[in-house]
């Protein structure tokens, strides 16, 4: 602190950033790693400044692990894991099982009818399989019986009991998420409720009951409607993502294709669960006020009850083929004119990913080149940004911009390329590069200030391939040179490697009567 006082006010800001950079690069998250006999891994971080524990676990499975016909199944399991156990979520477990068995028999008959309807659609006898009026009489009859079973099951269900047990015990923030590569579950519990967390989480893994399995698809469809179909660019983004990926399973949406979600059978779900939710494909993460030895003993007691899976989860083996030519998509939407440009790059942990991250920060934020050049400078755009996406098996780099009044998305596109050419061909000032590195260090430092923040970093890093990135990514970003940034820009941000989506405002159609009156005049 004596050294700090020797600086002027302006100098203090510089020193503070450098201090943060040094602190963040030097400070390591003290992760204790342990593996149970059944293959489940524990990641433990003791932090005793708050009497709570952020607890979570990651299943190393996402939409990339699916296949055509069962897309959306990983996301469906995110929902199903909250349905309870033999002792949580039902008033009559025996009756519950009987109803589930009856439902499965009916669903098998309904799938047979669905196959016949698909055949009729292929023959041109039906125009749209989603229309209720196109359902066969037999299907309508079976669906009625199925809905009666759903009603019976709901009579014995205890809705949201899993959540209620937690909240009654003082827990908060229970939630989950699914990405292309992982599924994460998390909650914060009082420190004295750690054993409750161990029991609750191990029970839903050891003895899950997939109640309302088929009825839950309606919830998934509603989620899809809100995120994809009811937003101005939702459907366009889904189509653009499918266009970007020629061969990789990243091409289908995490929520799944609409035709696949209702077609997934419970038998397929059971097979998927036994493979991807086996202990050796899971990692438990605890951050907060506990003793590692105590937590490890509890994990052995509760989670080691779960038998090791019979098979190891396979890698994703279908890689993206090299893109030979630029691809473009044009869409008219209820949105301001804008452009998205996406290049194929590298996956998580790749040695070039750190330089690409630095490049994105050189371009982004209000002090970045895109904002200065396109928004403040030429005023061709109202906003502009760049961002990398390093997924487990592949990656992308994106640049986006919204056109100003009187400008076009193509004008924004040319301006973005102009800024990228400067990166590729001109020297990057050392002070500009250092400022970005300092911002990275400050961001890493801030992410270490809460249990949940550390938990989420460990979940994501472990799910993407290596939890150690929480400690190792900082020094790797600091080691990036200006030459590295120029090299990755030249290597990956090429014309042949890019995908471009241009959106213009959809022209409104005047009412028929108004058009007729105008013609008469």
Alpha-carbon distance of 483 to 473, in angstroms, equals: 19
Domain at 327-505: CATH code: 3.30.830.10
pLDDT > 70 fraction of the chain, expressed in percent and rounded = 92
Indicate the angle between helix axes 430-446 and 9-26, nearest 10 degrees: 60
d(CA 41, CA 280): 7
pLDDT of residue 6: 30
Same fold, 32-89+158-303 and 327-505: yes
Averaged pLDDT, 194-198: 98
Bridge partners for 286 per DSSP: 44, 55
Helix (H) or strand (E) holding 490: helix 482-492
Instruction: Give me the mean pLDDT over the 295-308 stretch.
Output: 98
Instruction: Indicate if the pLDDT at residue 13 is higher than 50.
Output: no
Band of the pLDDT at 518, cuts 50, 70, 90? very low
User: Is residue 8 over pLDDT 70?
Assistant: no
Distance of alpha carbon 201 from alpha carbon 194, whole angstroms: 11
What is the model's pLDDT at position 512?
A: 54
With H, G, I as helix, E, B as strand and everything else as coil, classify residue 503: strand
How far is 337 from 137, CA to CA, in rounded Å? 47
Residues 213/217/222/228 CA torsion (nearest 10 deg) = 130
Q: What is the reported pLDDT for 158?
A: 94
Residue-level pLDDT at 119: 95
Nearest to 345 by CA among 379, 393, 273: 393
Confidence of residue 228 (pLDDT cuts 50, 70, 90): confident
pLDDT-derived band at 130 (thresholds 50, 70, 90) equals confident
pLDDT at 30 over 60: yes
Residue 521, pLDDT score: 40
User: Mean pLDDT, to the nearest integer, of 163-183?
Assistant: 97
| Euclidean distance between CA atoms 234 and 231, whole angstroms | 5
pLDDT tens for each residue of 231-288? 899 999 999 999 999 999 999 999 999 889 888 888 899 999 999 999 999 999 999 9
Provide the pLDDT for residue 219.
Answer: 83
Tell me phi and psi for residue 188, to 5 degrees: -115, 130
Report pLDDT for 401: 98
* Arithmetic mean of pLDDT, 378-405: 97
pLDDT tens, 452-487? 999 999 999 999 999 999 999 999 999 999 999 999
Within 13 Å and on the Cβ side, how many CA atoms surround 290? Answer: 31
pLDDT band at 27; cut points 50, 70, 90 = confident
- Kindly report the average pLDDT of the chain as a whole number: 91
Specify which residues 44 forms β-bridges with: 32, 286
pLDDT at residue 513, as a whole number:
52
DSSP state of 307: P
Domains of the chain, residue spans: 32-89+158-303, 327-505
Q: Are 269 and 73 spatial neighbours (Cβ–Cβ below 8 Å)?
A: yes
Q: How far apart are CA 485 and CA 480, in angstroms?
A: 7
CATH of domain 32-89+158-303: 3.30.830.10
Q: Give the residue among 432, 427, 426 at the shortest CA–CA distance from 367.
A: 432
- What is the pLDDT, as a whole number, of residue 218? 78
Concatenated DSSP letters of 171-234: -EEEEEEE-SS-EEEEEEEEGGGHHHHHHHHHHHHHS---TTTTTHHHHHHHHHIIIIISSTTH
Q: Confidence class of residue 3 from pLDDT cuts 50, 70 and 90?
A: very low
């Amino acid at each position: 602190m004596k050294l700090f006082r020797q600086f002027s006010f302006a100098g203090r800001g510089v020193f503070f950033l450098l201090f943060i950079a040094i602190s963040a690069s030097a400070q390591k998250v003290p992760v204790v790693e342990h593996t149970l006999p059944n293959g489940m891994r524990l990641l433990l971080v003791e932090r005793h400044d708050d009497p709570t524990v952020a607890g979570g676990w990651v299943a190393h499975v996402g939409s990339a692990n699916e296949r055509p016909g069962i897309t959306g199944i990983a996301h469906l399991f995110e929902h199903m894991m909250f349905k309870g156990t033999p002792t949580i979520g039902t008033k009559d477990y025996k009756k519950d099982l009987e109803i589930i068995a009856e439902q499965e028999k009916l669903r098998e008959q309904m799938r047979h009818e669905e196959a016949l309807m698909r055949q009729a659609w292929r023959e041109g006898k039906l125009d749209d399989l989603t229309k209720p009026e196109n359902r066969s009489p037999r299907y309508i009859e079976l669906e009625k019986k199925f809905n009666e079973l759903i009603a019976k099951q709901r009579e014995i269900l205890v809705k949201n009991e899993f959540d209620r047990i937690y909240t009654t015990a003082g827990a908060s923030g229970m939630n989950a998420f699914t990405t292309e590569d992982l599924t994460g579950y998390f909650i914060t519990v009082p420190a004295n409720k750690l054993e409750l967390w161990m029991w609750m989480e191990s029970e839903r893994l050891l003895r899950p009951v997939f109640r309302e399995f088929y009825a839950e698809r309606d919830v998934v469809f509603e989620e899809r409607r809100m995120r994809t179909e009811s937003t101005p660019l939702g459907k366009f983004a889904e189509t653009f993502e499918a266009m970007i990926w020629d061969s990789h399973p990243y091409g289908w949406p995490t929520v799944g294709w609409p035709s696949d979600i209702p077609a997934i059978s419970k038998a397929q779900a059971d097979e998927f669960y036994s493979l991807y939710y086996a202990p050796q494909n899971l990692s438990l993460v605890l951050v907060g006020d506990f003793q590692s030895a105590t937590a490890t003993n509890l994990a052995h007691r509760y989670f080691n009850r779960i038998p090791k899976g019979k098979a190891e989860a396979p890698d994703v083996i279908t890689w993206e083929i090299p893109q030979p030519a630029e691809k473009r998509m044009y869409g008219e939407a209820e949105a301001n004119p804008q452009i998205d440009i996406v290049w194929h790059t590298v996956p998580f942990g790749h040695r070039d990913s750190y330089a690409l991250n630095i490049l994105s920060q050189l371009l982004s934020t209000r002090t970045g080149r895109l904002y200065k050049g396109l928004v403040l400078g030429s005023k061709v755009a109202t906003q502009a940004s760049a961002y990398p996406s390093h997924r487990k098996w592949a990656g992308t780099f994106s640049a986006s911009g919204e056109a100003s009044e009187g400008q076009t998305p193509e004008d924004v596109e040319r301006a973005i390329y102009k800024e990228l050419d400067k990166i590729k061909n001109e020297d990057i000032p050392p002070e500009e590069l250092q400022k970005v590195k300092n911002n990275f260090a400050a961001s890493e430092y801030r992410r270490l200030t809460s249990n949940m923040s550390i938990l989420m970093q460990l979940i994501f890093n472990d799910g993407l391939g290596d939890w150690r990135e929480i400690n190792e990514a900082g020094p790797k970003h600091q080691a990036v040179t200006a030459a590295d940034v120029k090299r990755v820009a030249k290597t990956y941000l090429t014309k042949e490697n890019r995908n471009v989506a241009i959106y213009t405002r959809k022209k409104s159609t005047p009412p028929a009567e108004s058009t007729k009156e105008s013609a008469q005049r």
